[in-house]
Amino acid sequence: MFPSLLLVLLIGVAAWAGTVAGGAVLFGVVLPYAAFAVFFAGMVWRMFYWAKSPVPFCIPTTGGQERSLPFIKQNAVDCPSSTGGVVVRMMLEVLLFRSLFRNTQAEVCSSRAGGVRSTYYSSKWLWVFALVFHYCFLLIFIRHFRFFVEPVPACVTFAESLDGIMQIGAPRLFLTGGCILVALCFLLGRRLFNERLRYISLFNDYFPLWLLIGIVGTGICLRYFDKCEIALVKIFVMGLTQFSPAPAAGINTLFFVHITLVSTLLLYFPFSKLTHMVGVFFSPTRNMPNNSRMARHINPWNPPKQYFTYAEYEDTYRDAMAEAGLPLDKQPDKAAE
Amino acid sequence: MDAKTLIDTNKDEILRQWIEAVYSLYPLETTGFVRTSSDPFGNPVGDMTKQAAAAIYNAITGEDTAVDTVKAALDRFVKLRAAQRANPSQGLGVFYLMKPILRKLLLPQLAKDDLETYLGVESRLDSLTLLAFDMYASARETLADLRITEIRNQHAQLTRWAQKHGVISTSQAR
Amino acid sequence: MAKLPTPQQLIADRPAFPDKHWLNVKSEFTPGSFCYPAKKDTMELLHMPNPHEWDPAAEDWGLPENWERILCDAFADRLEKHRSLKLFMDICVRCGACADKCHFFLGTNDPKNMPVLRAELLRSLYRRDHTMLGKLLGKTVGARAWDKSVVKELFYYAYQCTECRRCSLFCPYGIDTAEITMIVRELLHEVGLGTHWIMDPVKNCSFTGNHLGIKPHSFVEIVEMLADDCEIVTGIRPKTPFNQKNAEILFITPSGDVFADPGIYTFMGYLLLFHELDLNYTLSTYASEGGNFGSFTSFNMAKKLNAKMYAEAERLNVKWILGGECGHMWRVLNQYMDTYNGPTPVNMVKPVSPITGTEFTNAVSTKMVHVAEFTADLIYNNKLNLDPCRNDHIITTFHDSCNPSRGMGLLDEPRYVLKAVCNNFVEMPENTIREQTFCCGAGSGLNTEEIMELRMRAGMPRGNALRYVQQNHDVNHMACICAIDRATLPPLANYWAPGVTVSGLHELVANALVMKGEGKRTLDLRQEDLPNVEPDEAADTGEEQ
């Protein structure tokens, strides 16, 4: 836990010091370019790496009734037998984290009638905060397009108005900033205070959390406290996107810390568990239909058949089988020849 | 405060401390889970321990001393201890974890004017442990029996066939 | 003078805080915590690599000289063969959603039985050799090197997983520990490590067709004895067709049901049902084992044993195959068979029930139908004369076997049948049934008696749910559709919920089945009195106990 926090702080401090010492170009131009290049190349490589290995067997985890007889109702979402069903299952998984939602818990209580009654409720904290985190992240990501595109697309403005719907303060308070911070703290808190999770957590789990907290923290500071000149930042970022970097003069040092942390995230992404973002689409227990009795799934490395054949079997037991009156392919007298 | 009120008011705290003491015997990394989840099916160990705690307390304080109900309430818990990897002393020692807690919470207040009642509580804890010892031993016997029955059942039909053909005698089979 | 230890000292068996990271905790092989090793000659006979005698409790497992090379290469090879493995190694975020879903974890409280950590045992090795960060940072990012104690640890935990897939259901990315366990077991077999209870049946199934190695003529006699028993109960002796060419249907079920109590009663149930239907079917002595012990060993061994089914279907020129009640058998049949050994022989056609004319469209490619589907269809079409009152002394619940539930989705067919043959049916609590079912604690080749306590711990969540319905709904019976369940649930019930009996689905079907020309039924298939039938003047079965 501490090494990962330390590392994130170190990166932040280095970016700060470097910028103050006149390295704005390094942290604001060179690093982002490098990070983007590594991120894209890395992700493509990662997907290629996965795709290189075949899916030898059709192994969906069935979460409901299979398609069978007409009078038995199939659960077409949790046990899909067609591509359409798989798409729906995948959408629910990716957009709503359905499997996490399944986390039901039961509680038994004595009812007034005297008997015992069980009630079931879903243990949903992890699900709620995971969902909040991911959606806030998405919204923040969309909001940032304000800096990359001119004119600002309508959907970005819409996302902003949605985010600032509370209409508090100037600059208008974005809900996502606060929400994502709360969600991140929950996800981190689980790892720290739940003994079970603390035991399984690694550097690789804490690092991205601290990094994201750093990114969100600096972002919030830049908007509300150490306010930076939006126009200058936009010119700078547009310069980056059009491969003609603009001068960094007049932009807060903290901005470069923010940029550096984001670059670190991009650099780290393809080599970490964060690849679950695309990995989930590759997961054979979720992205395959349960139709393996209806359509043959092909295994490219299917080895040749080798087994103890019936002929060998009959050769071994022929006499005894004949005595027992079992039908034979070759009668004992014939086989002896 | 009379003994009865004292026993009642301290019940929750004593149960809590005893349950904690039992949980603390499990690997540290997993106690968080047995402690927090109240799902009797998702977290059976926690559920069994809680049920046992209440039964033990009711029995030793004289609330409910009918052997059958006490046995029924302790059954799952003792069986769990009997199946878990531990010495018998470790399996049943959990009952004695109650004593230091009782001595801390009940004894100082009962010692002055109602020592009799307190000693009664401890004696009943001893009897209860002996009762649990019987249950533990019978659970272990069941386990041994299960092994034998399973081996026999695996080949039940084969054995009948062998008897029929005189390969083994009928007495050998049973 | 030494002091007597206090109770606290006696039972406190762990330090206040784990002083070692899990990577450094070694597994202890005490009796009862491991399955007996496979015999050297069994492994040799099956051409398994590096066969040798070894003892799990010993310090030295006699691994081959270059064991590390073998394991590294085998692991790299499996990564190239299975996308699932690469993916599951890469994308786990350790969110912990799976941790308390494992019956082994719930019963043993061993942290490494959390599915996430069980996978992490292999993942740590993956990191060192196959990820950049692991190569650079080593232990900091949870990477570690191969070591003999790591091999032992893998063995220890790969045989404390029943490949039930319950964790996979709750994983947001569908990470399937069964897949990882299967591959770890494959790796271990590469250096000659296997267990007796799995390899011995593999050998027997391979060479004789059944898991006990009973020769064909004796196998037939044993089945005929069961037909005799059927006659005692019903007055009708069902036919027992074997190796008949040109039959319409080949029937394959686990051979455990021919040998083991109470599986034999389920087998008698099949015989009676098929006789009553006058089904044109055959059994086979060559392919008489449906349950695939090879699937507990390696993908190739599973393929090898499975190949006999289509081979026999081709030789006997049958139209389709009917499969009996079995868990792992159906995981293989549903998800692997067609891939392993398909396409089906040309003589096989789309399965159609000869009684009702129903086409089993969900099995058009494998041409293999589950007997619960077959019977449910019969009942739906009113083809069976059933008297469920005969089972009125039973209040039954239903145990979903892991593999048909989470590897197939066979949930409602057996319930449909069960409700038709039993008037009293009670479900166990919601988070312990259907796709969320708890394992019997001894699947995937772990139902061996040397680890009985371990099985009782692992089966505890199931036993606990059973006990709940026993106490609150007076349940006295549990039906299941798996031969391993029929072997493992009786001890589990005897321990956690004594008084509950266990049987296969078709035992109950045959008890309720009113057959043409049968005698008055006063006994069930176990030759115990049926309490709801008044014993008539003629006590015709007086001789039997």
Tokens (6 digits) for B163: 């008897």
CB-based contact C477:C500 (threshold 8 Å): yes
**CATH number for the segment(s) C25-194:** 1.10.1060
- In angstroms, what separates the C-alpha of B15 from chain A's closest C-alpha? 19
- In angstroms, what separates the C-alpha of C349 from chain A's closest C-alpha? 13
- Walk me through the domains of chain A, giving residue ranges and CATH numbers: 2-282 (1.20.950.20), 311-337 (no CATH)
Which of C25, C168, C205 would you mutate first to test chain A, the one with the most A CBs within 10 A?
C168
| Residue C453 identity | E
Contact C97 A271 (CB under 8 A): no
Task: Say if A284 is an interface residue toward chain C (CB within 8 Å).
Answer: yes
| Edge-to-edge strand ranges of the sheet holding C320-323 | C281-282, C249-252, C320-323, C368-370
Nearest residue in chain B measured CA to CA from C455: B83
SS3 labels along A254-278: HHHHHHHHHHHHHHHHHHCHHHHHH
pLDDT band at B31 (very low <50, low <70, confident <90, very high): low
Q: Residue C286 and residue C206: Cα distance in Å, rounded?
A: 9
pLDDT band at C16 (very low <50, low <70, confident <90, very high): very low
Contacts of B26 in chain A (CB under 8 A): none
Instruction: Pick B41's closest partner by Cβ from A106, A198, A199.
Output: A106
In this structure, what DSSP letter does residue C26 have? P
Tens of pLDDT, residues C232-274: 999 999 999 999 999 999 999 999 999 998 999 999 999 999 9
Nearest residue in chain B measured CA to CA from A119: B39
Contact B79 C17 (CB under 8 A): no
- In angstroms, what separates the C-alpha of A197 from chain B's closest C-alpha? 8
C429-438: b (≥16 Cβ within 10 Å) or e: bebbbbbbbb
Tokens (6 digits) for C418: 């069960």
Residue C536 contacts by C-beta under 8 Å, 6 or more apart in sequence?
Answer: C520, C522
| CB proximity under 8 Å: C 484-503 to A | none
Residue B58, in any domain of the structure: yes
| CB proximity under 8 Å: A 163-222 to B | 194-196, 198-199
Q: Residue C358 and residue A70: Cα distance in Å, rounded?
A: 10
- In angstroms, what separates the C-alpha of B2 from chain C's closest C-alpha? 30
Contacts of B30 in chain A (CB under 8 A): 195-196
Q: Residue C192: helix, strand or coil by DSSP?
A: coil
Query: Backbone dihedral region of C167: left (phi > 0), alpha (psi from -120 to 50 degrees) or beta?
Result: alpha
Nearest residue in chain C measured CA to CA from A296: C338
| Residue C397 identity | T
Tens of pLDDT, residues C145-177: 999 999 999 999 999 999 999 999 999 999 999
Which of A187, A283, A318 would you mutate first to test chain C, the one with the most C CBs within 10 A?
A283
Q: Which of C330, C322, C438, C306 is nearest to C369 (CA)?
A: C322
Tokens (6 digits) for A127: 């699900």
Q: Which of A61, A53, A52 is nearest to A288 (CA)?
A: A61
Residue B166, in any domain of the structure: no
What is the residue-wise DSSP string for B121-135?
HHHHHHHHHHHHHHH
Nearest residue in chain C measured CA to CA from B36: C100
Q: Residue A248 and residue A226: Cα distance in Å, rounded?
A: 17
Instruction: Pick C96's closest partner by Cβ from A196, A272, A306.
Output: A196
Contact C30 B85 (CB under 8 A): yes
Measured torsion, CA atoms of residues A91, A94, A96, A102, in degrees rounded to the nearest 10: 100
In this structure, what DSSP letter does residue C364 have? T
Give yes or no for residue C5 having a pLDDT over 80. Answer: no
Tens of pLDDT, residues A92-125: 999 998 888 877 655 555 444 434 444 444 457 8
Instruction: Pick A196's closest partner by Cβ from B32, B39, B40.
Output: B32
Task: Say if A105 is an interface residue toward chain B (CB within 8 Å).
Answer: yes
Q: How many CB pairs under 8 A join B and C?
A: 147
Residue B152, in any domain of the structure: no
Q: Which of A46, A263, B60 is nearest to C91 (CA)?
A: A46
Report angle CA C268, C271, C277 to the nearest 5 degrees: 140
- List subunits contacting chain B, requiring 3 or more Cβ pairs under 8 Å: A, C
Give yes or no for residue A126 having a pLDDT over 90. Answer: no
Q: Which of C129, C131, C105, C127 is nearest to C116 (CA)?
A: C105
Contacts of A194 in chain B (CB under 8 A): 32, 36
Residue B43, in any domain of the structure: yes
Q: What is the mean pLDDT of chain A?
A: 87
Q: Which of B90, B108, B15, B20 is nearest to B60 (CA)?
A: B15
- List subunits contacting chain A, requiring 3 or more Cβ pairs under 8 Å: B, C
Name the residue ranges covered by the structural domains of chain C. 25-194, 200-380, 388-512
Contact B79 C496 (CB under 8 A): yes
Contacts of B39 in chain A (CB under 8 A): 105-107
Contact A195 B42 (CB under 8 A): no
What is the residue-wise DSSP string for C247-314?
-SEEEE--THHHHSTTHHHHHHHHHHHHHHHT--EEB-STT---S-GGGGT-HHHHHHHHHHHHHHHH
Task: Tell whether the torsion through CA atoms of A52, A56, A58 and A62 is positive or negative.
Answer: negative
Domain housing B25: 3-143
Taking the CB of residue B117, how many other CB atoms lie within 10 A of it?
Answer: 17
Taking the CB of residue B122, how many other CB atoms lie within 10 A of it?
Answer: 15
- What is the biggest distance separating any 2 CA atoms in chain A, rounded to whole angstroms? 103
Strand partners, C283: C242
Instruction: Pick A283's closest partner by Cβ from C174, C362, C366.
Output: C174
Tens of pLDDT, residues C493-541: 999 999 999 999 999 999 999 999 988 889 999 999 888 776 554 444 4
Residue B172, in any domain of the structure: no
Query: Radius of gyration of chain B from Cα atoms?
Result: 22
Tokens (6 digits) for B37: 């989840």
- In angstroms, what separates the C-alpha of B6 from chain C's closest C-alpha? 26
Task: Say if B90 is an interface residue toward chain A (CB within 8 Å).
Answer: no
Tens of pLDDT, residues B118-174: 888 899 999 999 999 999 999 999 999 999 998 888 888 888 888 888 777 665 544
Contact B146 C491 (CB under 8 A): yes
Domain count, chain B: 1
Contacts of B154 in chain C (CB under 8 A): 256, 259-260, 487
pTM: 0.90
Contact B41 C110 (CB under 8 A): no
Contact B31 A194 (CB under 8 A): no
Which of C217, C242, C350 would you mutate first to test chain A, the one with the most A CBs within 10 A?
C217
Helix (H) or strand (E) holding A121: strand A116-122
Which of A49, A68, A286, A305 would you mutate first to test chain C, the one with the most C CBs within 10 A?
A68
C6-15: b (≥16 Cβ within 10 Å) or e: ebeebbbeee
Higher pLDDT, B96 or C21: B96
First-last CA distance in chain B: 63
Task: Say if B29 is an interface residue toward chain A (CB within 8 Å).
Answer: yes
Q: Residue C233 and residue C523: Cα distance in Å, rounded?
A: 6
Which of C116, C259, C525 would you mutate first to test chain B, the one with the most B CBs within 10 A?
C259
Mean pLDDT of C395-408: 95
- In angstroms, what separates the C-alpha of A80 from chain B's closest C-alpha? 27
Burial class (CB in 10 A: 0-12, 13-18, 19+), A225: exposed
- List subunits contacting chain C, requiring 3 or more Cβ pairs under 8 Å: A, B
* Same-fold call for C25-194 versus C388-512: no
Residue B115 contacts by C-beta under 8 Å, 6 or more apart in sequence?
Answer: none
Tens of pLDDT, residues C372-390: 999 999 999 999 999 999 9
CB-based contact C434:A62 (threshold 8 Å): no
Contact B39 A107 (CB under 8 A): yes
Nearest residue in chain B measured CA to CA from A106: B39
Tens of pLDDT, residues C114-147: 899 999 999 999 999 998 888 888 888 888 999 9
The predicted structure's pLDDT at residue B44:
85
Q: Residue C342 and residue C340: Cα distance in Å, rounded?
A: 6
CB-based contact C205:A308 (threshold 8 Å): no
Give yes or no for residue A277 having a pLDDT over 80. Answer: yes
Instruction: Pick A57's closest partner by Cβ from C339, C412, C429.
Output: C339
The predicted structure's pLDDT at residue B33:
63
Our measurement of the distance from residue C206's CA atom to the centroid of its chain's CA atoms, rounded to an integer in Å, reads: 18
The pLDDT > 70 percentage for chain C reads 94
| Residue C175 identity | I
**CATH number for the segment(s) C388-512:** 3.40.50
Instruction: Pick A195's closest partner by Cβ from B28, B37, B40.
Output: B28
What's the Cα-to-Cα distance from B150 to each of A314, B153, C329, C370, rounded to whole Å? 33, 5, 21, 27
Q: Residue A22 and residue A104: Cα distance in Å, rounded?
A: 55
Q: What is the mean pLDDT of chain C?
A: 90
pLDDT band at C2 (very low <50, low <70, confident <90, very high): low
Residue C421 contacts by C-beta under 8 Å, 6 or more apart in sequence?
Answer: C386, C388, C391, C508, C509, C511, C512, C513
Tens of pLDDT, residues B52-100: 999 999 898 888 888 888 888 899 999 998 988 778 888 888 898 898 8
In this structure, what DSSP letter does residue C448 have? -
